[in-house]
Amino acid sequence: MIEVQHVTKRYGPVAAVSDVSFRVEAGQILGFLGPNGAGKTTTMRVLTGYLPPTEGTATVAGFDVLKDPIEVKRRTGYLPETPPLYPDMTVREYLTFVARINGLSAAERGNRLDQVMERTSVGDVADRHCGKLSKGYRQRVGLAQAILHNPDVLILDEPTAGLDPKQIIETRELIKELAGDHTIILSTHILPEVAQTCERVVIINKGRVVAEDSPDNLTGRLHGAVTVQLQVDTGGADPTAALHAVPGVAAVSVGEPGDEGRTIEIQSAQDVDIRRDLANAVVSNGWGLLEMRRARLSLEEIFLQLTTAEEPAGDGENAADEENAADEDLDEPAAATESADE
Amino acid sequence: MNNILAIAHRELRSYFVSPIAYVVVGLFALLYGYFYIASLAFMVQFSAQAGMFGGGPQTVNVNEFMIRPLLSNTAIILLFILPFLTARAYAEEKRSGTIELLLTSPLSDLEIILGKFLGALALFLLMLAVTAVHMGILFWYGDPELGSILTGYLGLALMGGSFIALGLLVSSATRNQVVAGVGTFSLLLLFWVLSWMSDSAGPTAGAILSYLSILEHFDDFSKGVVDTAHVAYYLSFIAFGLFLTAKSVDSERWRG
């Protein structure tokens, strides 16, 4: 549905995005993950036909963003970081306008408007001015605007930013519901969000893709050695020696005994499953095995590992800094474009 | 076409939900009313003075002594007011980020520009329509010639359209409304005073300068003459202004 090939976007000599490639299948939710200023917004703007790529090609629903921008825009719903609302229009007037410029006929509009307002639960503010809405409602009106013309592809730039926890959960549910009929790309710098909503993750840092996989594979793939955490009641004995004797164990660290026994962390050698042998060792010593689990690196750790360890060379760094400054300036949504000029 | 109208409708609406339409139309009516009364007083005084030489007050030509100077003054009022009508057109959309909505909707740049142009033009024509009241009073008490009034208004409409086209261009180049307003006003002023240099600039340069001067082309309209050269000047001014606006919007994409 969406195919991005070697896309580079330069502002003058500065590259905000370099050589980004990925694809999204129909009906999938792709999470776009990266620190502020990594180039998420720029990539999304390229996909919506708002910014032309300097190099490379991007196609949405089979249409090239550079050659057929109108066809791409017809099939894309876009929620920018700051919802693009006209403060002097009521929600209903605003959505009617959006429906009109997206080519919905007067007959189609009425029904569709009610349907979308119900789905995004903005019905009770339908006659309020957009300028007077709370952040949560603004975001939802922005989402209503994006799905109004029932596009194939939804591109959502930080859809949950600035919402309260309840609204965040509602918005995530809504996005998951939408995934059936739409292909969705959403950007975020909140990691649990990706784990909860997305089927695939693209991690981008300083304008480059540093990883692309499913959230599960990402968490599974990255750690070399497996860490196993045990909760054992040894009844006063020190288990270190006994556990070291288990084949495949590389390191053992034993915690102080407490009410629930001791917490023991054991590192295995590369790619060896030591859990069976560990359990046997504990049981044969007559200790009580209370808990055993394989500790996985959380997405946070992977993210930090990827975005700090792999330092991309060259101009990407400048781009990230440029955008970073712009991202902080929340009052000026298009500031990224200006700072790049300077 | 539907897209253009949707944009134009939104533009016009936003003028009326903000104070802009009321302030601009109201102050225009005030200034126009002032010049109307001043021209009227001038004409009455002139007619009385002329009467001193003959027997009793003379009838003077209303078109020549009142309406022509009034319309010339109106052109100057527009020069001051219209830049502030178009200042927000692009600048405000860029500042608030709504430009992203327009540029990611299935609209061509030209449709957006024409929509904005028509929206501002509609408000401007409404502004002119207010003065039909003043003209009506002249017809009630006097006997002015309708033809030259209509050509005068055609001239005003064309000239106002040119002001709006230039205003859109300047607004598309900035995100600051004050910069857009002052920039447009200064450029229009420059286009007006270009002809002042024409006498001292030598024959060829002088002719070019006076040709470019935006108010120079208006005189004939207020005299009741529709010269296609002047119509062509204003229409090409508008077309060129809108064309450059399209280029300005497009170049922003590449600059980012």
Q: Which amino acid is at A339?
A: S
Kindly tell me if the per-residue pLDDT of A286 is higher than 80: yes
DSSP-derived secondary structure letter, A257: P
In this complex, which of A11, A49, A334 lies closest to B97 when CB atoms are compared?
Answer: A334
Name the CA dihedral angle for A157, A158, A162, A168, rounded to a multiple of 10 degrees: 120
Kindly tell me if the per-residue pLDDT of A339 is higher than 60: no
The answer to whether the CB atoms of B14 and A88 lie below 8 A apart is: yes
Name chain B contacts of A50, Cβ cutoff 8 Å: 100, 103-104, 253
Name chain B contacts of A85, Cβ cutoff 8 Å: 98
Residue A296 near residue A220, CB atoms below 8 Å: yes
Q: Which amino acid is at B63?
A: N
Q: What is the pLDDT of residue A181?
A: 85
Bridge-based pairing of strands A63-64 and A55-60 is: antiparallel
Q: With bands split at pLDDT 50, 70 and 90, how would you rate the model's confidence at B184?
A: very high
pLDDT in tens, A52-78: 998 999 999 889 998 999 999 999 999
Considering only CB atoms, which residues of chain B are within 8 Å of chain A?
2-3, 6-7, 10, 13-14, 17-18, 94-108, 175, 252-256
Mean pLDDT computed over B5-33: 92
Nearest chain A alpha carbon to B7 = A101
Nearest chain B alpha carbon to A55 = B254
Q: Take residue A134 and report the two structure tokens written for it.
A: 């709370």
Q: Return the half-sphere exposure (C-beta side, CA atoms, 13 A cut-off) of residue B66.
A: 30
Angstrom distances, CA of residue B136 to CA of B35, B45, B87, B139, B146: 16, 22, 32, 5, 11
Q: What is the pLDDT of residue A94?
A: 95
CATH T-level fold of A224-295? Alpha-Beta Plaits (3.30.70)
Q: With bands split at pLDDT 50, 70 and 90, how would you rate the model's confidence at A327?
A: very low
Mean pLDDT computed over A266-294: 80
Q: Boundaries of CATH 3.30.70.100 in chain A?
A: 224-295
Kindly tell me if the per-residue pLDDT of A312 is higher than 60: no
pLDDT in tens, B32-81: 999 999 988 888 888 888 777 766 666 677 787 888 889 989 999 999 99
B184: CB partners within 8 A, 6+ apart: B82, B83, B86, B87, B163, B166, B167, B170, B171
3-state SS, B107-136, equals CCHHHHHHHHHHHHHHHHHHHHHHCHHHHH
A13 in reach of chain B (CB within 8 A) = no
How much helix, strand and coil, in percent to the nearest 5, is found in chain A?
Answer: 40, 30, 35
pLDDT in tens, A231-258: 888 877 788 888 888 887 877 888 777 7
Mean pLDDT computed over B189-203: 82
A90 in reach of chain B (CB within 8 A) = no
Q: With bands split at pLDDT 50, 70 and 90, how would you rate the model's confidence at A298?
A: low
Phi, psi of A133 (to 5 degrees): -85, 155
Residue A249 near residue A266, CB atoms below 8 Å: yes
% of chain A surpassing 90 pLDDT? 25
Mean pLDDT computed over A135-147: 91
Torsion region of A39: left, alpha or beta (phi above 0 gives left; psi -120 to 50 gives alpha): left
A261: CB partners within 8 A, 6+ apart: A231, A232, A233, A234, A288, A290
The answer to whether the CB atoms of B97 and A340 lie below 8 A apart is: no
Q: What is the pLDDT of residue B120?
A: 96
Q: What is the pLDDT of residue A340?
A: 39
Nearest chain B alpha carbon to A69 = B106
Residue of higher predicted confidence among B129 and B205: B129
Residue A249 has a CB neighbour count (10 Å cut-off) of 19
Residue B248 near residue B171, CB atoms below 8 Å: no
* Sequence spans of domains, chain B: 2-255
Instruction: Convert A197-227 to b/e letters by CB count within 10 Å (16 or more is b).
Output: bbbbbbbbbbbbbbbbbebeebbeebeeebb
Q: Return the half-sphere exposure (C-beta side, CA atoms, 13 A cut-off) of residue B164.
A: 23
DSSP string, A174-220: HHHHHTTTSEEEEEES-HHHHHHH-SEEEEEETTEEEEEE-HHHHHH
CATH code of the region A2-220+305-341? 3.40.50.300
Nearest alpha carbon to residue A88 among B178, B20, B101, B125: B20
Burial of B46 (C-beta count, 10 Å sphere; 0-12/13-18/19+): middle
The Cα–Cα gap between B179 and B90 comes to 12
Kindly tell me if the per-residue pLDDT of A129 is higher than 50: yes
Q: What is the pLDDT of residue A310?
A: 44
The Cα–Cα gap between B134 and B34 comes to 11
Alpha helices in B108-216 (DSSP H): 109-130, 132-141, 146-172, 177-193, 203-212
Q: Which residue has the tokens 């178009």?
A: B86
Kindly tell me if the per-residue pLDDT of B243 is higher than 90: yes
Residue B185 near residue B83, CB atoms below 8 Å: yes
Bridge-based pairing of strands A29-33 and A200-205 is: parallel
How does the average pLDDT of chain B come out, rounded? 89
Q: Take residue B208 and report the two structure tokens written for it.
A: 């070019």
Kindly tell me if the per-residue pLDDT of B168 is higher than 90: yes
Name chain B contacts of A101, Cβ cutoff 8 Å: 3, 6-7, 102, 105-107
Q: Which residue has the tokens 């750690």?
A: A223
Kindly tell me if the per-residue pLDDT of A271 is higher than 70: no
Q: Boundaries of CATH 3.40.50.300 in chain A?
A: 2-220+305-341
Its sign, for the CA torsion A102, A105, A108, A114, is positive
Name chain B contacts of A97, Cβ cutoff 8 Å: 6, 10
